[in-house]
Structure 1
């Protein structure tokens, strides 16, 4: 077992429950340390969580001006491209809450830097200025067990000497991306893995059972807690 498993009735319940859990985690961190830092994920579950948070009255418990937001990975595309995780997060939540723009850290887009490697270097430099570890890293789990843009068998998965890496020839479009590395993800206090739908069930089972210890989703841990937040369709059979 690679962490605590919480199973919800369906993806909508999962999104609402995870939004409530995230509010609590942020408020607790702000109470304990003055601010909080969260790493966002894209995809249907990550964006569903953000939309649920936007719709929740509990969002007003968060001091949004004392929240740092980062991204676990990003598609190397121009600013504002609808396929960028940052663009989707803005539409789902960020434009609706009073964040401090100086504390929102999108990955540099392709129209701002020369290459994905340059974007990775710039993001690593920005990350180096952060104070303390992430409070929560959110990760979607792909049907192939990938997390962030770390794919099974891909060289980026084995990078351990840096916090951010350029990803080329990704097996899912677009092929060029920027991703946090496993050590950067694993520095977080808590790592939450999100999976909903029957298409995720095999990947979840492989990662949780230990049947495939090389699976990216099986290799991420938080220093204090690792949570698997699932719906029934994605959860392994009891």
Structure 2
């Protein structure tokens, strides 16, 4: 398994470089397989990266009709709510694409029902899973100390999240670590402590083939 740390000078460069890397990787994968499963992330740097993909002229070299978009986690909010990762991704990225296959976390009566429905839809594995890292070391909606960390299965309904909103749907370690490639995209000095702590959720994720830590200088300062 390949593990790489790639450092960029600042957040803007990180977003644009990661976007270019993702476009290139998708094109490479399309020469090898018929379809691609890509799990998106939210957060400031995650959404900035998606926006940079849409603005990159090479974006149109990707055959988006063969790409299936999923989410590593989602806020349990109504469809179209501005705080949903899906809504933000549509505004800066998805709406600029043609014929992409979008698989949002479904609406349901409860966060646990939504998790069950999403688990039924998931492919066997993701080709690439994009993840941000919080200052506390959380990835997706897997927060330190939260009972969701210990739930079996591939998708979990999260309650009592320390970061609002309290209810979320998240891929589990099992699903994330079944991904062929996991890309951790990390920006800012507030993440530096988390990146050196082996006990946080971010330290527990990896791809089966490749794990990339894509960071800016501030995030790896320690």
TM-score (normalised: structure 1)? 0.90
1:133 Cα offset (Å)? 2.4
Q: Counterpart of 2:40?
A: 40
Describe how 1:100-139 pairs up with structure 2 within 5 A. Answer: 100=100, 103-109=101-107, 113-127=108-122, 130=123, 132-139=124-131
Structure 2 unaligned regions, length at least 5: none
- Is the Cα–Cα contact under 8 Å of residues 189 and 221 in structure 2 kept in the other structure? no
Return the offset for 1:99: 2.9
- 1:179 equivalenced with 2:174 (yes/no): no
Tell me by how many angstroms 1:31 deviates.
1.0
Pairwise CA distance, 1:177: 0.3
DSSP 3-state at the match of 1:121 = helix
CA distance in 2, matches of 1:205, 1:55: 33
The answer to whether the aligner puts 1:170 opposite 2:161 as a matched pair is: yes
Q: Is the 8 A contact 1:146 1:152 kept in 2?
A: yes
- For each residue in 1:175-220, what CA deviation from the matched residue of structure 2 results, as whole angstroms up to 9, or x when unmatched? 00000000100001100001111111111122xxxxx3x3100000
CA contact (8 A) 1:205 1:236 kept: no
1:59-98 to 2 correspondences below 5 Å: 59-98=59-98
Indicate the SS of the match to 1:89: helix
Q: Which residue of 2 aligns with 1:57?
A: 57
SS at match of 1:107: coil
For 2:98 and 2:192, how far apart are their aligned partners in 1?
37
How far apart are the structure 2 equivalents of 1:197 and 1:217?
A: 15
Computed over aligned residues only, the root mean square deviation of the Cα atoms, in angstroms, reads: 1.2
| Superposed structure 1 runs of 4+ greater than 4 Å apart | none
Question: In the TM superposition, what whole-angstrom CA distance separates every residue of 1:139-188 from its partner, at most 9, and x where no partner exists?
Answer: 000000000000001111122x3110000000000000000000100001
CA distance in 1: counterparts of 2:185 and 2:109, whole angstroms = 33
In structure 2, the partner of 1:221 is 206
Q: Retained in 2: the 8 A contact 1:204–1:236?
A: no
Note if contact 2:142-2:170 (Cα within 8 Å) is conserved in structure 1.
yes
Q: Note the C-alpha offset of 1:39.
A: 0.2
Shift of 1:83: 0.2
- Give the match for residue 132 of structure 2: 140
